[in-house]
């Protein structure tokens, strides 16, 4: 994938061409200085230009927004939604520069977090926590923001990483806090490691959506989808609570952090039913908050699934 780099071993330096390195820094520096909303609106302006020069690249985004919203949207409104979606995907998937090295007070003021008292209670308990990752909104900001707020989060495992994110992880000294994406043969030892980390009180990010044919089944925007089983199995085995955390963009391109309900999968009783219930509660939470702001559906693969 052009512009992405292998991240199977976060402690092994990834070589980047000199021009990629320079271009990435030129993108990062203004974003670390500008107000948050300015960065998002600038990204939307760039997205509008891309829609003019490369209009066919965004058909899948159009399709997903049509599924989520009223089919009677005017073309002008739809194009506005698509430009927002492109901007949010770019900012949330390629960089976390706008929230890098910000103080706790700055992050609280800028993101206006809803439900953060749930995280405070879990931190006071001293237990391991599974932070449920979701491919919506500014998903790449969740881990860095939680670390900036003082929570002991291991960052989401990655298979491929954008140059800007890689440079930021190096600059912030967080490479050692990233869980590398496991190969198929290492999946078992990887889950065992996650199990041990949770029992020791670590907080882990883990993807909870788009799990493939072997995953758990749930209803998502009126469609049946398959989602990852691993976070729910880990919750059941370790007793660790699972908490969805979203960072979304509202209609004025302002970022908003929303902490969902604390979900627990009991160890007694049928495992499949307990995990299915927890998964559906999580999906209902995502639908309730993304539905009013559909441009936050930044990875619409599920439409074809």
User: pLDDT tens-digit profile of 276-295?
Assistant: 999 999 999 999 999 999 99
CA distance linking residue 96 with residue 98, whole number of Å: 6
Tokens at 234, concatenated = 């880990």
Checking if the pLDDT of 268 tops 80, the result is: yes
Strand stretches in the chain, DSSP E: 5-6, 129-133, 153-158, 160-161, 178-180, 203-207, 216-220, 223-227, 242-249, 255-259
Q: Which distant-in-sequence residues (6+ apart) come within 8 Å of 56 by Cβ?
A: none
pTM: predicted TM-score of the whole model, two decimal places: 0.89
- 121-146, pLDDT tens digit by residue? 999 999 999 999 888 999 999 999 99
Measured between alpha carbons, how far is 237 from 219 in angstroms, rounded to an integer?
A: 25
Measured distance CA(264)–CA(240) in Å, rounded = 7
Q: pLDDT higher for 181 or 248?
A: 248
Candidates 184, 157, 182; CA nearest to 169 is: 157
- pLDDT per residue as tens digits for the range 93-115: 889 999 999 999 999 999 999 99
The span from the CA of 60 to the CA of 294, in Å, is: 13
User: Percent helix, strand and coil across the chain, each rounded to 5?
Assistant: 55, 15, 30
Count of CB atoms situated within 10 Å of the CB of 77:
13
For residue 258, which of 155, 115, 117, 135 has the smallest C-alpha distance? 115
- Starting at the edge strand found earlier in the chain, the sheet holding 129-133 runs 178-180, 153-158, 203-207, 129-133, 242-249, 255-259
């Amino acid at each position: 994938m052009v512009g992405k780099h292998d991240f199977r071993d976060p402690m092994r330096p990834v070589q980047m061409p000199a021009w990629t390195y320079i271009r990435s820094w030129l993108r990062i520096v203004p974003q670390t200085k500008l107000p948050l909303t300015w960065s998002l609106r600038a990204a939307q302006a760039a997205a509008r230009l891309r829609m003019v020069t490369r209009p066919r690249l965004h058909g899948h985004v159009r399709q997903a927004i049509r599924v989520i919203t009223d089919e009677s949207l005017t073309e002008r409104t739809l194009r506005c939604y698509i430009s927002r979606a492109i901007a949010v995907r770019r900012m949330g998937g390629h960089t976390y520069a706008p929230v890098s090295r910000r103080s706790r007070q700055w992050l609280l003021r800028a993101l206006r977090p809803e439900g953060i008292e749930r995280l405070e209670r879990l931190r006071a308990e001293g237990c391991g926590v599974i932070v449920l990752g979701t491919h919506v909104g500014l998903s790449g900001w969740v881990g860095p923001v939680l670390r900036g707020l003082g929570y002991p989060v291991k960052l989401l495992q990655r298979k491929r990483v954008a140059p800007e994110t890689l440079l930021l992880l190096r600059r912030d000294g967080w490479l050692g806090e990233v869980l590398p994406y496991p190969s198929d043969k290492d999946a078992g030892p990887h889950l065992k490691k996650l199990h041990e980390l949770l029992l020791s009180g670590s907080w882990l990010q883990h993807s909870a959506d788009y799990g493939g044919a072997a995953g758990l089944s749930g209803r998502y925007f009126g469609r049946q989808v398959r989602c990852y089983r691993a976070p729910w199995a880990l919750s059941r085995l370790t007793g660790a609570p699972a908490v969805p955390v979203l960072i979304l963009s509202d209609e004025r391109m302002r970022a908003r952090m929303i902490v969902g309900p604390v979900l627990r999968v009991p160890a007694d009783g049928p495992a499949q039913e307990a995990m299915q219930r927890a998964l559906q509660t999580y999906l209902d939470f995502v639908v309730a908050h993304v539905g009013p702001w559909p441009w936050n559906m930044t990875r619409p693969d599920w439409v074809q699934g």
